[in-house]
């Protein structure tokens, strides 16, 4: 954590959120997904460590104590209990699973139709927004980067309701630059077409590099800012936007 904070300070940041992958609370056992998610029993230690750094670094950078949490339909109450047990400044909501497969899976496309799976993904995103569990929704549209392209008409049909639902929920959306590191690499998550819809609905956008290494902190922020500028969003002065648990720095879109 210290390495990430030092990296953020070296890059001139004034505020930095830590948001490790929370436990896989929706599977049995304490540590069902080692290597990608922390054990349930590690969560308290993670939060305590982040709170310590928040205090220690207070005069150098504002540290927000966060978590990236999976949204699983039907498990909202379970997640709610996990989150309420800790004083998070913010929680990122992620749809990582559609059906029984990960959004990063490529094998699924041998048996699934993109139209159906994308529609299901965006239905879950809308439920995640409306759940009241999250402050920001992470890496929207990621599933499409790992799946087959679909026609413009489908995109139009799917995206507008998502943008309206997110706007109504009061959630912010993370502009996540890991899209520039993965796959063809020319779009962030959400992709620019989804960003256009979200901006049209006035959804504030937080910045996240999805850094999994300290040198990825702030990755692609100039590029993301240039894209937002092109889409008509002011990026020179991010503002504090109220969220469910408090506030986050975000680019306002209205």
Select from 92-100, 103-111, 118-126, 147-155 the region that touches Zn ion (CB under 5 A).
92-100
Select from 40-48, 54-62, 89-97, 182-190 the region that touches Zn ion (CB under 5 A).
89-97
117 versus 176: smaller Cβ distance to Zn ion: 176
Q: Are 36 and 82 in contact (CB under 8 A)?
A: no
**Alpha helices by DSSP H, 170-232:** 192-200, 221-230
Cα distance between residue 225 and residue 246, in whole Å: 24
Cα distance between residue 213 and residue 216, in whole Å: 5
14 versus 75: smaller Cβ distance to Zn ion: 75
Q: What is the 3-state secondary structure (H, E, C) of 31-56?
A: CCCCCCCCCHHHHHHHHHHHHHHHHH
Select from 93-101, 157-165, 183-191, 225-233 the region that touches Zn ion (CB under 5 A).
93-101
18 versus 233: smaller Cβ distance to Zn ion: 18
Out of 94, 177, 191, 235, which residue is the one contacting Zn ion (CB under 5 A)? 94
Which token pair is 109?
A: 């496309």
94 versus 243: smaller Cβ distance to Zn ion: 94
Footprint on residues 108-147 left by Zn ion (CB under 5 A): none
Min separation Cβ 234 and Zn ion, Å: 27
Cα distance between residue 171 and residue 10, in whole Å: 30
Q: Which residue is nearest to Zn ion (CB)?
A: 94
Cα distance between residue 135 and residue 146, in whole Å: 25
Q: Rule CB under 5 A: is residue 37 a binding residue for Zn ion?
A: no
94 versus 172: smaller Cβ distance to Zn ion: 94
Select from 39-47, 51-59, 72-80, 94-102 the region that touches Zn ion (CB under 5 A).
94-102
Cα distance between residue 152 and residue 229, in whole Å: 23
Min separation Cβ 92 and Zn ion, Å: 8
Around 208, how many Cα atoms within 13 Å sit in the side-chain half-sphere? Answer: 30
The residues of the shown chain that bind Zn ion, judged by CB under 5 A, are 94
């Amino acid at each position: 954590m210290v390495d990430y904070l030092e990296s953020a300070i070296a890059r001139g940041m004034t505020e930095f959120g830590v948001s490790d992958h929370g436990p896989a609370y929706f599977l049995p056992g304490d540590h069902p997904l080692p290597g990608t998610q922390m054990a349930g029993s590690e969560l308290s230690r993670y939060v305590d460590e982040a709170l310590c750094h928040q205090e220690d670094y207070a005069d150098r950078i504002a540290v927000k104590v966060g978590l990236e949490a999976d949204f699983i339909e039907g498990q909202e109450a379970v997640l709610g209990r996990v989150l309420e047990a800790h004083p998070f400044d913010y929680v990122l909501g992620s749809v990582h699973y559609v059906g029984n497969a990960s959004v990063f899976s490529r094998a699924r496309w041998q048996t699934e139709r993109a139209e159906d799976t994308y529609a299901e993904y965006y239905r879950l995103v809308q439920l995640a927004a409306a759940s009241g569990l999250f402050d920001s929704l992470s890496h929207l549209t990621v599933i499409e980067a790992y799946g087959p392209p679909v026609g413009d008409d489908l995109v139009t049909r799917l995206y507008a309701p998502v943008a309206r639902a997110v706007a109504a929920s009061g959630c912010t959306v993370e502009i996540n630059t890991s899209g520039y590191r993965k796959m063809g690499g020319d779009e962030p998550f959400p992709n620019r077409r989804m960003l256009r819809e979200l901006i049209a609905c006035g959804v504030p956008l937080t910045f996240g590099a999805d850094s999994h290494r300290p040198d990825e902190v702030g990755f692609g922020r100039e590029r993301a800012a240039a894209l937002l500028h092109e889409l008509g969003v002011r990026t020179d002065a991010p503002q504090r936007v109220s969220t469910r648990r408090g506030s986050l720095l975000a680019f306002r879109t209205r």
